Amino acid sequence: MVDTAQVPAASGTPLPPADVVPPVWGRITDLVVERGEGSWLITTSGERYLDYSSGIGVTNTGHAHPRVAAAVAAQAARLLHGQQNIVYHEPGLRLYHRLQTLLPGGPWGAFLSNSGAEAVEAAVKLARIATKRPVIVAFRGGFHGRTAQAMALTTAKNVYRADFEPLPGSVYFADYPYCYRAPVAPHDPTACAAGCAHCDGCSCDWEGRLEELFHTLVYPEHVAAFIVEPVLGEGGYVVPPVGFLPRLREIADQHGILLIVDEVQTGFGRTGRFFAVEHSGVEPDILTFAKGVASGLPLSGIIAKQEILRRWRTSAHGGTYGGNVVACAAANATIDVIQDEGLVQNAQERGAQLLAGLRALKARYRTIGDARGLGLMVALEFVKPDEGDGRVPNPELTKRVVAEALRRHLIVLTAGSHVQVVRIIPPLVTTPDEVDLALGILAESLEAAGA
């Protein structure tokens, strides 16, 4: 761990030692940063790092975007806290209004909270109250947060839940179509025709397994909601076949089950559409968002059908800080920037550039089992090609690649249940030159890591 007492501090006063931060915060880097601009983080000693983690998918507009920073500063000077039960404020009213129109379909309403997990809690509470049914069906490999209910829905990795049993019950798990890890053989999810029930060439059989769940564990008429990520995040940046969500929507409708899409990581332009669910044309009943909405200020919430939102009786849910006035000002500025600067389009274009580069790397290394992604949510999955069926996860190599990239001033993250995936989450403002730089660093890192 870095000795922070030796780090030059802007204030001139020595910094406290790094071990004041408890070890429960697993560390990705030991960098002490002073500021950020666009895709870059700058340390206290002036070193520049290309931040392709975006603070875990948060800084979609880049670090400290001038318009967002100005909106925050102006709001902070006027009012820091205008509690939602007590007053209305302009940034909040404007944001609630805009959230009604960001997603096709509707009519939509919204509820504002602080973190992704809190948005998930709200979605589950609303689904249960709206349907008067108890059960939630989540998907294997999913990540929904750290609070008790969100942990109970999370299966991306044992460490997120295993120490905290007993967890809230009436939660069951269905299979997510993870085409690279399909039981029979890996296959390309894009081979699937839109809207098909049994995706062409997809042997994942998630639908058959769901039927099995309904026959063995739970009656579908007891299920309040499915909760699903349109692209698995922590679970390994898994892009499902395009027919998956439309078919899930049909099954939900058949049984009166609500569809919650968790867009905490995929939302606000990340995948090359404003919300990832738009790729499939599916209308959810409830959508959760956080991360990218406010460029780094804590804000989250749900967008839900108005008729469903109305079923929440007054005071059945709330919170002291939800829809904080400064965070709302940041969110309004963030949405302006995403729209005015064409960042959704840029996510598509830079995402295609990045994925093409990763596929070229995959062609050179047998240890890269899969290169995949949607928009600027892209990943490499590392395997041991000479063991088992050739898809044995390779966490050691994954971690070496991330470490070598960091040595070359590129920040990327891991993901996947076995830590076998390098995930790359650039800010949506990233440029073609930065993408090329990152690809060059990744190529060197693969070589240095012994891929």
Ligand X SMILES: Cc1ncc(COP(=O)(O)O)c(C=O)c1O
CA distance linking residue 99 with residue 441, whole number of Å? 38
Is 121 among the residues that bind ligand X (CB under 6 A)?
no
Binding mask 260-279 for ligand X (x = CB under 6 A): --x-xx--------------
**Toward ligand X, which CB reaches closer, 229 or 434?**
229
In sequence order, which residues have a C-beta less than 8 Å from that of residue 196 and are 6 or more positions away?
A: 243, 247
**Toward ligand X, which CB reaches closer, 230 or 357?**
230
Is 290 among the residues that bind ligand X (CB under 6 A)?
yes
Q: Which of 119, 124, 105 is nearest to 305 (CA)?
A: 105
∠ CA 203-206-210, rounded to 5°: 145
β-pair partners for 380 = 371, 422
- Under a CB-based contact definition with an 8 Å cutoff, are residues 251 and 282 in contact? no
CA distance linking residue 281 with residue 261, whole number of Å? 13
Least distance (Å) between residue 328 CB and ligand X: 17
Candidate segments 143-151, 182-190, 272-280, 326-334, binder of ligand X by CB under 6 A: 143-151
Candidate segments 248-256, 258-266, 276-284, 338-346, binder of ligand X by CB under 6 A: 258-266
Is 116 among the residues that bind ligand X (CB under 6 A)?
yes
CA distance linking residue 151 with residue 161, whole number of Å? 6
Is 233 among the residues that bind ligand X (CB under 6 A)?
yes
Least distance (Å) between residue 117 CB and ligand X: 3
Is 230 among the residues that bind ligand X (CB under 6 A)?
no
**Toward ligand X, which CB reaches closer, 232 or 441?**
232
Is 332 among the residues that bind ligand X (CB under 6 A)?
no
Among 65, 89, 144, 161, binds ligand X (CB under 6 A): 144
CA distance linking residue 314 with residue 318, whole number of Å? 9
**Toward ligand X, which CB reaches closer, 89 or 270?**
270
CA distance linking residue 430 with residue 438, whole number of Å? 11
Q: Which of 410, 411, 380, 409 is nearest to 397 (CA)?
A: 380
- Which single residue brings its beta carbon nearest to ligand X? 116
Is 117 among the residues that bind ligand X (CB under 6 A)?
yes
Binding mask 18-57 for ligand X (x = CB under 6 A): --------------------------------------x-
Q: Which of 140, 165, 139, 167 is nearest to 152 (CA)?
A: 167
- Under a CB-based contact definition with an 8 Å cutoff, are residues 223 and 133 in contact? yes
Least distance (Å) between residue 321 CB and ligand X: 13
Least distance (Å) between residue 192 CB and ligand X: 22
Burial of 435 (0-12, 13-18, 19+ CB in 10 A): buried
Candidate segments 39-47, 113-121, 167-175, 217-225, binder of ligand X by CB under 6 A: 113-121
CA distance linking residue 359 with residue 410, whole number of Å? 19
To 10 degrees, the CA torsion angle through 432, 394, 403, 156? 80
Among 4, 115, 334, 417, binds ligand X (CB under 6 A): 115
Q: 């005015």: which residue's tokens?
A: 340
Among 31, 102, 120, 293, binds ligand X (CB under 6 A): 120
Is 161 among the residues that bind ligand X (CB under 6 A)?
no
Tell me how crowded residue 223 is: count the other CB atoms within 10 A of its CB.
Answer: 24
Among 51, 121, 229, 434, binds ligand X (CB under 6 A): 229
Give contact residues for ligand X (rule: CB under 6 A).
Answer: 56, 115-117, 120, 143-145, 229, 233-234, 262, 264-265, 290
